[in-house]
Structure 1
């Protein structure tokens, strides 16, 4: 019988790393080395709101500008969270806690600066008419806010015409919709058609358990987001490249 060492067989490249490295250790490798920024980034990852505020105060005391700290420390911490979430090292509850801690930090810095940071743009979010499941939408809204967007959150079970009115009133960069019940997903097609009728070419990012890429691709403005974390990435793409639905689909749809 041939003597084979099983330890070298069928080991996915990152399984060893997962076993040897806790999420905290993985985060430690990604934190910035700057001693004033490090504690803030770490507190964001840990979802510790008080520690975020304390770290920000120390950074301000050392001469940092409050508004610049949004990008230079809070966004850096959230970047660590997003990376580890994308890699499957941490999960949605962690992301939500971090997003809350980050929003607390933004509020603190706004008060310190006496002015609001520059907002990247406005986004309207809603849950499809007839659907009361709003956890997905809440995560999308939190991540968009954490990434510097002004979110108009219409809530859950939102009538189609209310969504159209909000788009007309707010002129957002992008519209998002989530649906968990298959009976409600057809509201998205109705929203798409009414927006086109009124001459709007706004990207309509759709997600949630009830929809998939094939369904969302059937309507002209639809862009499918598999993960809540796709929403801020899509918004950044729209901000950088305009509302080109074809380009958005090329970037975010699986081919």
Structure 2
């Protein structure tokens, strides 16, 4: 028997909806998939609060998603929220607003749960020639998850560095100055060193990157004429390409980044911060 299910993932920068049919064998068949940039974590790193403007952007997306879910008559719906919601002092306002719009209880999940869910999703569709162990790196807006494993997560950690957080804290100029780039690089290196104490990063044979910063870097590396998720998914990008693209993005102005054909307008401000992490 097939049932229609829906999942909403609310991060620091974006909120995503997936509506799918779940068949008797446990396979998902997409019915609707959409993403909105709401920047829920805007200034949370500095203020500890989700701003009223960010709340309204998120609630507007929730209103849209509620209509979509109802139109497909989904029987099971899950809503998970991550870094910005974990950090915010006023997260209950966000939780109450989501509950009122979607008639469900949103889950503000800890970083370890986020890491496990990301790993399960990332490894479920790997090509047969992918070599384990896998290191999954999920670069969000407020945090980055590192997970090492084979068939299941074996070691994981969530650290407070994401594309929004790094941009707001370090990359204020347009384009960033040499001192700003040095500061953010040193900070990221320090946090990766902390992550390496808990996750054996060097044991990985395959690195799997997740989320918008990674897919945008991949799109640039592939020289796509427009953002194409089907061509980006599963693409292989070399370390040299990542370094070159990060350097390129850091040297560009906001206007120059916005003119790139694969650049989503909601990532223009924060893509350089995400690329440096990668």
More strand by share: 2
TM-score (norm 2): 0.28
More helix by share: 1
TM-score (norm 1): 0.30
